[in-house]
């Protein structure tokens, strides 16, 4: 049966890109799929301590991402919400995948190149092997569908390559032990909606990101109404009014981004936004966008504040979720051990 898995890193502030590209779309899948949503704390520590904020920062961000999941309407009883480090099988399968994936495959990962920057000698080996852990996250549940933003597409392709190579390398053992033709499914990315790639408000050629030094480049989920309005007012645009057809957004990255954000927040298409605002100046469109953003985001921020005021409750959600996640992951990992030939207690 179709199973959804996705993860969000607990590193600093969540922003509008995380929400429109991922978290805000997770809840919609819960009526049709069996969903597992993870706070990927093991991934967070692949970067410098200053990025994930040390132990206090990590705990706070882990609770904040959990609160965002809950505030976005994910039901933690029907679905599973947990933090990655509580389920050992992620690390175990990641090690196996370190031995399946090839250096050449990982060398092609653009996110590693971006995150490691010029000083590649000084990047952690965890950052390099990160996509293997991500593949393990998904495959340890034999998940079939992975809702993510556009920037994760390459990592999903790698996860498929890893699943395929494992199935192939151990084809005889997989069949011999009654697992059929393939042990792992090839997981499919679900990259959907009008805001699968939200761009920086200051530069339409860069994606909105937690690591941009300018806070004006992004709308944080915890920004108040004034901050949201100010950031949208100051967002970079060109001097032309909005085009009268969607085609006219081509080559106008900043305008296209704002229209896409409006569409995603309103739950409508770019076409519908242009039908309403085509020909309008940004001095008209920006205040409308700011109102919409405040109207949609303020309740989420409020709910996140309410939830994070009770860390004990959040931690319990994660512990309960981890117990249920482990119950799925451990048998999958046992199968991997048997296929490879690791002796284990029976």
Residues annotated as part of the active site: 115, 207, 210
Q: Which of 27, 89, 100, 146 binds ligand TYM (CB under 6 A)?
A: 146
243 annotated ligand binder:
no
CB of 91 to ligand TYM, least distance (A): 13
Strands (E), 52-155: 80-83, 145-147
Q: Are 147 and 192 in contact (CB under 8 A)?
A: yes
Task: Answer yes or no whether residue 219 interacts with ligand TYM by CB under 6 A.
Answer: no
Q: Which two tokens stand for residue 176?
A: 């011999």
Q: Which stretch binds ligand TYM (CB under 6 A): 67-75, 131-139, 264-272, 278-286?
A: 131-139
209 annotated ligand binder:
yes
DSSP state of 78: T
Q: What is the DSSP secondary-structure string of 225-280?
A: HHHHHHHHHT----SSPPPSSGGGGTT-HHHHHHHHHHHHHHT--HHHHHHHHTT-
CB of 150 to ligand TYM, least distance (A): 6
Which of 72, 86, 78, 89 is closest to 24 using CA atoms? Answer: 72
Q: Which of 41, 92, 151, 223 binds ligand TYM (CB under 6 A)?
A: 151
Q: Tell me, rounded to whole angstroms, the distance of Cα 276 from its chain centroid.
A: 31
Task: Answer yes or no whether residue 134 interacts with ligand TYM by CB under 6 A.
Answer: yes
Q: Tell me, rounded to whole angstroms, the distance of Cα 261 from its chain centroid.
A: 17
Q: Are 19 and 65 in contact (CB under 8 A)?
A: no
Cα dihedral: 136, 319, 325, 135 (round 10): -10
Task: Answer yes or no whether residue 85 interacts with ligand TYM by CB under 6 A.
Answer: no
Q: Are 61 and 220 in contact (CB under 8 A)?
A: no
Q: Which of 149, 204, 243, 260 binds ligand TYM (CB under 6 A)?
A: 149
Q: Which of 4, 8, 36, 259 binds ligand TYM (CB under 6 A)?
A: 8
Q: Which stretch binds ligand TYM (CB under 6 A): 146-154, 168-176, 302-310, 316-324?
A: 146-154
Q: One symbol per residue from 12 to 41: x for binding ligand TYM (CB under 6 A), - otherwise; what is it?
A: -----xx--xx-----------------x-
CB of 176 to ligand TYM, least distance (A): 30
Positions touching ligand TYM (CB under 6 A) are 5-9, 17-18, 21-22, 40, 43, 134, 137-138, 146, 148-149, 151-152, 155, 196-198, 207-208
């Amino acid at each position: 049966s179709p199973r959804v898995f996705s993860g969000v890193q607990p590193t600093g502030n969540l922003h509008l890109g995380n929400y429109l590209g991922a978290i805000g779309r997770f809840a919609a899948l819960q009526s049709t799929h069996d969903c597992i949503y993870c706070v990927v704390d093991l991934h967070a520590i692949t970067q410098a301590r200053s990025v994930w904020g040390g132990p206090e920062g990590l705990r706070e961000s882990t609770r904040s991402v959990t609160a965002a999941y809950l505030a976005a309407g994910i039901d933690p009883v029907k679905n599973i919400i947990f933090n990655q480090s509580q389920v050992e099988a992620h690390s175990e399968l990641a090690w196996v995948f370190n031995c399946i994936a090839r250096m050449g495959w990982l060398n092609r990962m653009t996110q590693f190149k971006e995150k490691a920057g010029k000083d590649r000698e000084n990047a952690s080996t965890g950052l390099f092997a990160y996509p293997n852990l991500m593949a393990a996250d998904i495959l340890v549940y034999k998940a079939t569908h992975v809702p993510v933003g556009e920037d994760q597409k390459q990592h999903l392709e790698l996860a498929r390559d890893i699943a395929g190579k494992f199935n192939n390398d151990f084809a005889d053992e997989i069949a011999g032990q009654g697992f059929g033709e393939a042990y792992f499914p090839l997981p499919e990315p679900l990259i959907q909606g009008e805001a699968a790639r939200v761009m920086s408000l200051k530069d339409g050629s860069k994606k909105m990101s937690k690591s941009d030094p300018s806070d004006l480049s992004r709308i944080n989920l915890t920004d108040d109404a004034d901050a949201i309005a100010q950031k949208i007012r100051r967002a970079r645009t060109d001097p032309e009014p909005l085009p009268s057809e969607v085609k006219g957004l081509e080559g106008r990255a900043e305008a296209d981004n704002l229209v896409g954000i409006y569409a995603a927040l309103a739950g409508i298409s770019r076409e519908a936004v242009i039908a309403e605002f085509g020909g309008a100046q940004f001095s008209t469109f920006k205040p409308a966008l700011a109102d919409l953003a405040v109207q949609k985001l303020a309740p989420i921020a409020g709910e996140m504040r309410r939830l994070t005021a009770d860390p004990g409750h959040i931690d319990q959600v994660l512990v309960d979720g981890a117990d249920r996640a482990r119950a799925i992951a451990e048998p999958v990992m046992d199968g991997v051990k048997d296929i490879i030939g690791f002796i284990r207690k029976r």
